[in-house]
Amino acid sequence: MTRNTGRVLGVNGNMVNVEFDGAIAKNEVGYIRQGDIRLKGEVIRINGNIAALQVFEMTGGIVVGDEVEFTGEMLSVELGPGLLTQIYDGLQNPLPELARQCGFFLQRGVYLQALPNLDWEFTPTVSVGDIVKAGDTIATVPEGLFTHQIMVPFDLVGSFTVTSINKAGTYKTRDIICTIEDSKKKKIELSMVFSWPVKKAIQLYSERLRPVEPMTTKIRIIDTLLPVAKGGTYCTPGPFGAGKTVLQHATSRNAEVDIVIIAACGERAGEVVEILKEFPELIDPKTGRSLMERTIIICNTSSMPVASREASVYTAVTIAEYYRQMGLDILLLADSTSRWAQAMREMSGRLEEIPGEEAFPAYLESRIAEFYERAGIVRLHDGKIGSVTIGGTVSPAGGNFEEPVTQATLKVVGAFHGLSRERSDARKYPAIDPLTSWSKYTGIIKQSDVEQMRRVLHGSHEVNQMMKVVGEEGTSVNDYVTYQMGELLDSCYLQQNTFDPIDTSVAPERQKHVFAKLRHLMNMPLTFETKSDVRRVFNNLRQLLLDWNNTLWESDEFKAAEAALDEAFKALM
């Protein structure tokens, strides 16, 4: 194949105009030659024989006339065994390996192989003569906790006959392990790795299913009140410092899924470091293995090139879809989708496109919708069920949800966990606003029971608002009880201390158990003489509940604390 070439015509920020010969495709990758180094870019617009290349590196030093090589390939990621535990930048460069080669700083123009060429225990699952098509499993290798399926590359069209397949044994990632041929007898050699263009959804499944099974996070306010379903989507908008990242990190540790992919998109490098250093040390109680073994990190932080930030969320979701094809449940957490949207905005500005609201491009909404559409729970061709759940944070300018990214996201997601400045200021964490947030999914607790809690919370809020108008003295004792009940549910159930070893993750069984207790309290006919009686009783209940939260599930202390609470309930009868 002849590679097309071109020459740099102009540079504006990370947008480079290139005059090219021959035919090139939109989203094709090109490299700008700078002496020994090559700077990677992606074609995002073609006009006559001029291509606009968004360059994934700092563009300092580029000179008009510099040579450009086009690859004929779209921006892609490598898929195969060895992805788990990796830490990649937005273009799937392995960062620890990069650090070994280049030291403290990210060097321009260094692109490493995404998958190391490791040994794998290979077991074939097809034989010579079998007919296969894209996505079919031809072999398996154990990858950490999982049986990694080696599949026919997803981009091969039609049916193929297996003409050779290696015996069981140890092979390297890039060894040829199988050959197949198409109906015209054209042979294709397969290794355990193939690539896939990141901006294209992988759709090798027989049907999409409705997300109904809860994906528990061990965060009470989410699992009980604002649940997320496997294969569902949710967003977490909130002003700076309200707790989006802390919430996502807690979710990445505790979520009941097989694999977690963290896309740190245009946020702080330090936050990724926390995961990087802590996850290998943390043991997943479910598997007894380190949390890192089920984690992949895509890390394109705020000071890394903005074009690869744009690519990073696609890299992440493509890897998620790949593992979904093995019948696994994947959770993708993107922090923050606003930075991705801003990357699109910067690009659009340099292309001099007609700006929409707040200078975001007109296609912002459709891009956001396309991204979240890549979540879903599917029945695969082999009958297995796999899912990709997507949770994205949104960082609205000025903390105001009436802005393009939040609004576009709210249109497409299944749950909305809105963080409130008021709650985070008052250190009421997680600062998800229980009244304005919503979820279309069903959680671990009966819907009607959840509704009861919601009614109490609303009632309590209303009384509190009213008290601000008529004062406490103008409020009836009964209303005051409603108010205190809501406050109690908030401080002892909805609030949860992420930094406390016990409270940080609360298993669904415990949530159900505690919730039942609280429902019992909500159902009790409570009568009091005075408001200070109410306050006294509720202060006591709060103390008992907080101390109960602080005990290990089903331990003796847990039972003792529960007994103390039961006593206090009895005294109320």
| Cα–Cα nearest to 145, from 254, 258, 230 | 258
Residues 6+ apart with CB under 8 A from 1: 72
Q: Which residue is nearest to ligand ATP (CB)?
A: 243
Q: Based on CB atoms, which residue is closest to ligand ATP, 243 or 418?
A: 243
CA distance 145 to 550: 32
Tokens of 299: 């890390």
Which one of another protein, Mg ion, ligand ATP, none interacts with residue 104, CB within 5 to 8 A by kind?
A: another protein
Residues between 443 and 502 that touch ligand ATP (CB under 6 A): 497-499
CA distance 251 to 266: 19
The least distance separating ligand ATP from the CB of residue 347, rounded to whole angstroms, comes to 22
Q: Based on CB atoms, which residue is closest to ligand ATP, 201 or 246?
A: 246
Q: Based on CB atoms, which residue is closest to Mg ion, 8 or 242?
A: 242
| Binding-residue total with ligand ATP (CB under 6 A) | 15
Q: Based on CB atoms, which residue is closest to another protein, 178 or 297?
A: 297
DSSP annotation of 55: E
The least distance separating ligand ATP from the CB of residue 413, rounded to whole angstroms, comes to 17
Which one of ligand ATP, Mg ion, another protein, none interacts with residue 1, CB within 5 to 8 A by kind?
A: none
CA distance 479 to 458: 12
DSSP annotation of 224: I
Chain position carrying tokens 């006009």? 47
Q: Based on CB atoms, which residue is closest to ligand ATP, 238 or 361?
A: 238
Which one of ligand ATP, Mg ion, another protein, none interacts with residue 144, CB within 5 to 8 A by kind?
A: none
| Cα–Cα nearest to 337, from 406, 402, 271, 273 | 406
Coil, strand or helix at 357: helix
CA distance 253 to 284: 8
CA 235 to chain centre: 10
Query: Applying CB under 5 A, which part among 82-90, 243-251, 431-439, 474-482 lies near Mg ion?
Result: 243-251
The least distance separating Mg ion from the CB of residue 259, rounded to whole angstroms, comes to 22
Under rule CB under 5 A, residue 348 binds Mg ion: no
Q: Which of 241, 356, 399, 459 binds ligand ATP (CB under 6 A)?
A: 241
The least distance separating another protein from the CB of residue 428, rounded to whole angstroms, comes to 7
The least distance separating ligand ATP from the CB of residue 118, rounded to whole angstroms, comes to 35
Which one of another protein, ligand ATP, Mg ion, none interacts with residue 351, CB within 5 to 8 A by kind?
A: none
Q: Based on CB atoms, which residue is closest to another protein, 359 or 552?
A: 359
Query: Applying CB under 6 A, which part among 91-99, 243-251, 456-464, 512-520 lies near ligand ATP?
Result: 243-251
The least distance separating ligand ATP from the CB of residue 541, rounded to whole angstroms, comes to 23
CA distance 477 to 178: 77
Under rule CB under 6 A, residue 429 binds ligand ATP: yes
Q: Which of 14, 216, 245, 484 binds Mg ion (CB under 5 A)?
A: 245
Which one of ligand ATP, another protein, Mg ion, none interacts with residue 430, CB within 5 to 8 A by kind?
A: ligand ATP
Please measure the distance between the N-terminal and C-terminal CA atoms of the chain and give it in whole angstroms: 85
CA distance 23 to 5: 10
Chain position carrying tokens 């749950």? 415
Residues in contact with ligand ATP, shown as a per-residue x/- string from 110 to 149 under the rule CB under 6 A = ----------------------------------------
Residues 6+ apart with CB under 8 A from 194: 78, 79, 80, 153, 154, 155
Under rule CB under 6 A, residue 270 binds ligand ATP: no
Q: Which of 38, 148, 218, 244 binds ligand ATP (CB under 6 A)?
A: 244
CA distance 146 to 1: 38
CA distance 405 to 365: 8
Under rule CB under 6 A, residue 161 binds ligand ATP: no
Q: Based on CB atoms, which residue is closest to ligand ATP, 104 or 499?
A: 499
Residues 6+ apart with CB under 8 A from 118: 81, 82, 172, 173
CA distance 320 to 466: 48
Residues in contact with ligand ATP, shown as a per-residue x/- string from 362 to 401 under the rule CB under 6 A = ---------------------------------x------
CA angle 251, 500, 442 (to 5 degrees): 35
Tokens of 119: 């040994």
| Cβ–Cβ under 8 Å, residues 53 and 43 | yes
Identity at 6, one-letter amino acid code: G
Identity at 293, one-letter amino acid code: E
Q: Based on CB atoms, which residue is closest to ligand ATP, 243 or 391?
A: 243
Under rule CB under 6 A, residue 246 binds ligand ATP: yes
| Cα–Cα nearest to 251, from 234, 268, 269, 239 | 234
CA distance 95 to 101: 10
Which one of ligand ATP, Mg ion, another protein, none interacts with residue 238, CB within 5 to 8 A by kind?
A: ligand ATP
| Cβ–Cβ under 8 Å, residues 344 and 360 | yes
Q: Which of 242, 265, 415, 481 binds ligand ATP (CB under 6 A)?
A: 242
Coil, strand or helix at 81: coil
Q: Based on CB atoms, which residue is closest to Mg ion, 244 or 531?
A: 244
| Cβ–Cβ under 8 Å, residues 90 and 296 | no
Tokens of 198: 């990141």
Q: Based on CB atoms, which residue is closest to another protein, 414 or 434?
A: 434
CA distance 91 to 74: 12
| Cα–Cα nearest to 155, from 115, 130, 127, 190 | 190
Q: Which of 430, 443, 486, 508 binds ligand ATP (CB under 6 A)?
A: 430
Which one of ligand ATP, Mg ion, another protein, none interacts with residue 65, CB within 5 to 8 A by kind?
A: another protein
Q: Based on CB atoms, which residue is closest to another protein, 1 or 354?
A: 354
Bridge partners, 180 (sequence order): 162, 188
The least distance separating ligand ATP from the CB of residue 409, rounded to whole angstroms, comes to 15
Which residues bind to Mg ion, rule: CB under 5 A?
244-245
Which residues bind to ligand ATP, rule: CB under 6 A?
238, 240-246, 267, 395, 429-430, 497-499
